Amino acid sequence: MAKHVADCTTLHNGVKMPWLGLGVWKVTDGEQVEHAVSAAISAGYRSIDTAAVYGNEEGVGKAIAGCGVPREELFITTKVWNSDQGYESALQAFEVSRKKLGLEYVDLYLIHWPVKGKYKDTWRALEKLYKDGLVRAIGVSNFHVHHLEDLLADSEIKPMVDQVEYHPLLSQQELRAFCRSQQIQLEAWSPLMQGNLDNPTLTELGKKYGKSPAQIVLRWDLQNEVVTIPKSVNEKRIIENKDIFDFELSAEDMEKINQLNQNKRFGADPDNFNF
């Protein structure tokens, strides 16, 4: 189990991906995102997760360029947006993202949402980018089990990652089991429930371990072997979020958190979204 902020899981193609990263959803391009990314890298984070639709790839790129850490030590994720899905358009969208980031290659490129009738063509584009060496790993985001099964039915390369909404109120047991059986790494977005951490169980466990409810949740992610990318623009919080490698939740306390599941989403349902 991970003992340090830069510790990695190994994806099924042998690429190493950090267990903990910084998410930059809803972080403004320019100074705000540059500061957040720089603070995270200074604190020891090596994984940054952005997306074309976030509109902040340029700021992420600037922070990477100025961070002083060798490129090969960083793990940069971005995603193709829904309006760019399809074979040719996804290839073009990748080029735009890559240029904005100022990178020769991207570590992980994801299909952002399973757009009906388009995600298979988009996946073929990702397979090409992977074969061409422009991306070290490819994956999907917000794919349910049935989307994955559909994709696996006629894809050449299996997704390395599925990034989904995952937290104590939405513990995605079926999806987690399926991904594990297929060697697809599950990754959590909105792991901190968009700040809805006021929960008696999490408060009680926080007191028991001398940690914040957020740290309890992030530790639960790691012990469930789920990569996690909490978002923050606050340097103190960014540092606090990585302070989760010096304790371990007991099996009994893990189960207490597992029991909180309500299948509650704070984001859209991948079977029913309109963007």
Q: What is the DSSP string of 135-203?
A: EEEEEEES--HHHHHHHHHT-SS--SEEEEE-BTTB--HHHHHHHHHHTPEEEEESTTGGG----HHHH
159 part of a folded domain: yes
- Residue 2 maps to a domain: no
Tell me the Cα Rg of the chain.
Answer: 18
| Residues acting as catalytic residues | 54
| Per-residue pLDDT tens digits for 233-263 | 999 999 999 999 999 999 999 999 999 999 9
**Model's pTM, two decimal places?**
0.97
What are the residues whose beta carbons fall under 8 Å from the beta carbon of 56, sequence distance 6 or more?
24, 27, 28, 29, 30, 33, 50
- Residue 187 reports pLDDT greater than 90: yes
Residue 111 belongs to domain spanning: 8-258
Q: What is the DSSP letter of 233?
A: S
User: Amino acid identity, residue 225?
Assistant: E
Kindly state whether residue 271 falls inside one of the protein's structural domains. Answer: no
pLDDT at res. 73: 97
Q: What is the CATH number of the domain that holds 137?
A: 3.20.20.100
The reply to whether 169 falls in a domain is yes
Q: Is 268 a domain residue?
A: no
Place of tokens 């995270």: 40
Which two three-digit tokens encode residue 271? Answer: 């079977």
Check: CB of residue 173 under 8 Å from CB of residue 261: yes
Residue 186 lies in a domain: yes
Helix (H, G, I), strand (E, B) or coil at 13: coil
Give which of 8, 15, 227, 2 is closest to 108, Cα–Cα: 15
Q: What is the pLDDT of residue 1?
A: 75
Cα gap 46→108, rounded to integer Å? 13
Parallel/antiparallel/unpaired status of strands 161-165 and 106-111: unpaired
Q: How confident is the model at residue 3 (pLDDT cuts 50, 70, 90)?
A: confident
**Does residue 51 belong to any structural domain of this protein?**
yes
CA 9 to chain centre: 13
Tell me the per-residue pLDDT of 8-42, one tens digit each, with 9 for 90 and over.
Answer: 999 999 999 999 999 999 999 999 999 999 999 99
Residues 149-153: what's their mean pLDDT? 98
Query: How many angstroms separate the Cα of 258 from the Cα of each of 139, 172, 186, 252?
Result: 26, 10, 16, 10
In a domain, 124, yes or no: yes
Helix, strand, coil percent content, the chain, rounded in steps of 5? 40, 15, 40
Q: How many domains does the chain have?
A: 1
Q: Are 229 and 49 in contact (CB under 8 A)?
A: yes
In this predicted structure, what is the pLDDT of residue 45? 98
